Chain A
Amino acid sequence: MSEDAARKDIEKAQIVPAERPRRVWRYRHALPVRLTHWITAGAILILLMSGLQIFNAHPALYWGDVTDFDNPVFTIDPMTGTNRLLGAEWGNGLTPYDTALPSWMTLPAYRSLPDGRLWHFFFAWVLVGSLALYLAWGLVSRHLQRDIVPRGRDFRNLPASAWQHMRLKFHDAAGRYSSVQKISYAAVLFVVLPLIILTGLTMSPAMNAAWPFLVDLFGGRQSARTIHFICAIALALFAIVHVVMALLSGPINALVGIVTGWRRERIETEDQGERGDER
Chain B
Amino acid sequence: MSDKFLTRRRLLTGAASLVGAGALGAWYRLGSPPSLGEILGSAEHLNRGLQQAMIGREALAREYSPADVSPYFKPNGTQDAGGLPPEYMEDAENGFPEWRLEVGGLVARPTRFTLAEVRALPARSQITRHDCVEGWSVIGGWRGPQLSTILNRVGLLPEARYIVFYCADEFPFYFSGLSSYYESIDLLDAFHPQTILAHEMNGAPLTIAHGAPLRLRVERQLGYKMAKFVHRIEAVARFDDIHGGNGSYWADNGYAWYAGI
Contact = CB atoms under 8 A, between A and B. Distances in A.
A121 B61 contact: no
B76 to A, nearest CB: 11
Contacts, number: 116
Nearest to B139: A66
A177 interface: no
B134 A58 contact: yes
B220 interface: yes
Interface in B212-245: 219-222
B59 A114 contact: no
Interface residues of B, number: 43
A125 B134 contact: no
Contacts of B61: 205, 208-209
A58 B136 contact: yes
Given A65-B129, A207-B261, A122 B42 contact: yes
A236 interface: no
Contact of B131 (A57, A69, A124, A221): A221
Given A66-B70, A205-B61, A205-B219, A118 B132 contact: no
B51 interface: yes
Contact of A125 (B43, B51, B70): B43
Interface string A206-218: 1111111001000
A209 B60 contact: yes
Given A121-B44, A206-B260, A221 B129 contact: yes
Contacts of B138: 66-67
A205 B221 contact: yes
A115, A208, A211, most chain B CB atoms within 10 A: A208
Nearest to B43: A122
Given A122-B40, A207-B261, A221-B129, A215 B62 contact: yes
A121 B260 CA distance: 12
A115 B70 contact: no
A122, A203, A205, most chain B CB atoms within 10 A: A205
Contacts of B24: none
Contact of A115 (B59, B68, B72, B254): B254
A36 to B, nearest CB: 19
A215 B250 CA distance: 27
Given A57-B135, A122-B43, A204 B253 contact: no
Contacts of B132: 58
B178 interface: no
Contacts of B55: 206-207, 209-210
A222 interface: yes
A54 interface: yes
A166 B70 CA distance: 50
B150 to A, nearest CB: 23
Contact of A209 (B44, B46, B59): B59
Interface of B: 37, 39-44, 46-47, 51-52, 54-56, 59-62, 68, 70, 72, 74, 129, 131-139, 219-222, 250, 253-256, 260-261
20 contacts: A57-B134, A57-B135, A60-B136, A66-B70, A67-B74, A118-B43, A118-B254, A122-B42, A122-B43, A125-B46, A206-B55, A208-B61, A209-B60, A209-B61, A210-B54, A212-B62, A221-B129, A221-B131, A221-B137, A225-B135
